[in-house]
Structure 1
Amino acid sequence: MKQTFLLLLFVLAAAVGMAAKVDTVSTSSKDMHKDIKAVVITPGDYNSGRKFPVLYLLHGFSGNYSDWIKKDPELTHLSDEYHMIIVCPDGDFASWYFDSPVKAGSKYETYISSELVSWIDRHYSTIASRMGRAITGLSMGGHGALYLAFRHPGTFGAAGSMSGGVDLCPFPESWDLDQVLGKYSENHVRWEENSVINMLYLLTPNLLDLIIDCGTDDFFNTYNNNLHEKLLERKIPHDYTVRPGGHTWEYWSNSIRYHTLFFHQFFEKNK
């Protein structure tokens, strides 16, 4: 009985010792001339002698780098379960992850797709290729993840979107979009060109592994369904799901579990 108890204590101690680690790091953007924070979650079995895949996880409008770990602390379990590094960068209050043609100093496309990826690869033991990188996010971050992956398929091999704002044009006065793209009435072509739903020409079948979902009660549901139909027309394979729910953390905390499983499968098949 005593041996059994000691064995149980050993197992519990080992489990605690193998828990994922959450760090807040300060990264650097030369293009924006500033330091930018990010949350980095490393799995419990992380060590420099092994290369780990990385999931970049983007926040939504008015959020910041700490949103995901504050709202869904069980991300640490997903990092442990799938043996992946999860990086939650700061995308500013309303960058929409563009290199803005109108807002000076807002170059979050360059930051995420180049500067941050390079910083993470230098400071962590990563699979430093597109086969070891995925990107997803919620709302503004869902649009941003697809936008960045479509434009940088040499950097990311898989991408996803949860409740993404995949068509910007129906919302000309919302979410500070005019601050990064200019007024829709004067720049409608720019708005159309930078909406994910109009960027499918950048894709070829199987260029990216894609997972997209949206809640039935979400105001973005119609636009995500339109994106799904356009992907079908172009014969672009993708995983598309509509689940009950709205534009809420309850929905996203459930959705991220499907996304991490999807990306884990992508990483495993490309080992």
Structure 2
Amino acid sequence: MNKIRFTVVVLFVFFYAHAAKVDTIQVYSKSMGKYIKSCIITPDTYKKSKTRFPVVYLLHGYGGNYATWVQSFKDVASQVDLYGFIAIGVDGNTSSWYFDSPIDSSFKYETYITTELIPFIDLKYKTIVSPNARAITGLSMGGHGALYLSFKHQDIFGAAGSMSGGVDIRPFSEKWDVKKRLGSIEDFPENWEKNTIINMLDLVQNNKLKLIIDCGVDDFFIDVNRNLHNNMLSSKINHDYIERPGKHNTEYWENALKFQLLFFHNFFKDFSN
């Protein structure tokens, strides 16, 4: 078994009113041959506590990065303090879509997150190493990524969410560099069919994974989210589904994230009792 290679570089630290701590680390990805940054948010109680903590992984959208969650979401640190878990802002490049590209071997973000980043976090931080204490969510491209990774890796994640997620990428084949990761939809239709969320529901028909899906009614992804919701109902897949007034923007996601983190807090609490 290969040893996990890592370096930790503290690049910035912020202190909030609730005293949650934010660090940036770099983790070496053997699968991609480079160091990748992550943002680690630990609650005020972390340093002195002898207990271990649940973890929520946060996936940014197209064009974002690991620091999106502290740069654009003003309440994340206070929510981490309130609920007492660790939050990890993952870097998925600007347009990885969080899977292993079948046409570009330099993009292996599924492998990186599931076999490199998470083992590193569990090794270096006081985490509860169990899917019952590990959740993942994201916005837009990250919403796709969170459902994709959780559907395929229920041995790692026990709960997952999507905010304004691109849950069916096929109608958007010319946008957001997806074809750079999958090839064109005309030449590689099987890549698109295999890697879109709405076609992966057979993986979660066991209802093992706890799911929350959220999208604004004025979002360009609302139709694909509604289709996913209806297909999940038809397949009797348990999930929370929320629609509210809102567009594809940070204002909507700041509100949506509060619902998602409360959902994960309740999930963790149920398994700790």
Moved more, 162-171 or 40-49: 40-49
User: Percent sequence identity over matched residues?
Assistant: 53
1:253 equivalenced with 2:254 (yes/no): yes
Alignment of 1:191-270 (within 5 A): 191-270=192-271
Cα RMSD over matched residues? 1.3
Gaps of 5+ in 1: 1-14
Aligned residue pairs total 257
Whole-angstrom CA distance in 1 between matches of 2:112 and 2:212: 23
1:128 equivalenced with 2:143 (yes/no): no
Contact 1:205 1:237 in 2 (8 A): no
Whole-angstrom CA distance in 1 between matches of 2:261 and 2:214: 13
Moved more, 204-213 or 57-66: 204-213
Residue in 1 aligned with 2:44?
44
Residue in 2 aligned with 1:35?
35
Moved more, 183-192 or 151-160: 183-192
CA-to-aligned-CA distance 1:188-241 (integer Å, 9 cap, x gap): 121011000110011124210000010000000000000000111111110000
What is the identity, as a one-letter code, of the residue corresponding to 2:39? V
What is the identity, as a one-letter code, of the residue corresponding to 2:108? K
What is the identity, as a one-letter code, of the residue corresponding to 2:189? H
Tell me the CA shift for residue 113 of structure 1: 1.6
Residue in 2 aligned with 1:173?
174
What is the identity, as a one-letter code, of the residue corresponding to 2:240? D
Whole-angstrom CA distance in 2 between matches of 1:18 and 1:171: 41
Whole-angstrom CA distance in 2 between matches of 1:62 and 1:205: 34
Contact 1:99 1:106 in 2 (8 A): yes
Residue 246 of structure 2 aligns to a residue whose secondary structure is coil
Gaps of 5+ in 2: 1-14
Whole-angstrom CA distance in 2 between matches of 1:139 and 1:127: 28
Whole-angstrom CA distance in 1 between matches of 2:181 and 2:93: 12
CA-to-aligned-CA distance 1:95-146 (integer Å, 9 cap, x gap): 0001001113100001112211101001100011101100000000000000
Whole-angstrom CA distance in 2 between matches of 1:128 and 1:155: 9
Q: Runs of 4 or more off by more than 3 Å in structure 1? A: 15-18
Alignment of 1:72-91 (within 5 A): 72-91=73-92
Contact 2:16 2:78 in 1 (8 A): no
Q: Scaled by the length of structure 1, what TM-score is found? A: 0.92
What is the identity, as a one-letter code, of the residue corresponding to 1:225? R
Contact 2:16 2:77 in 1 (8 A): no
Whole-angstrom CA distance in 1 between matches of 2:171 and 2:227: 13
Q: Scaled by the length of structure 2, what TM-score is found? A: 0.92
Whole-angstrom CA distance in 1 between matches of 2:156 and 2:28: 19
Tell me the CA shift for residue 18 of structure 1: 5.9
Whole-angstrom CA distance in 1 between matches of 2:205 and 2:165: 21
Residue 252 of structure 1 aligns to a residue whose secondary structure is helix
- Of Structure 1 and Structure 2, the greater helix share is in 1
Specify the structure having the higher radius of gyration (Cα). 1
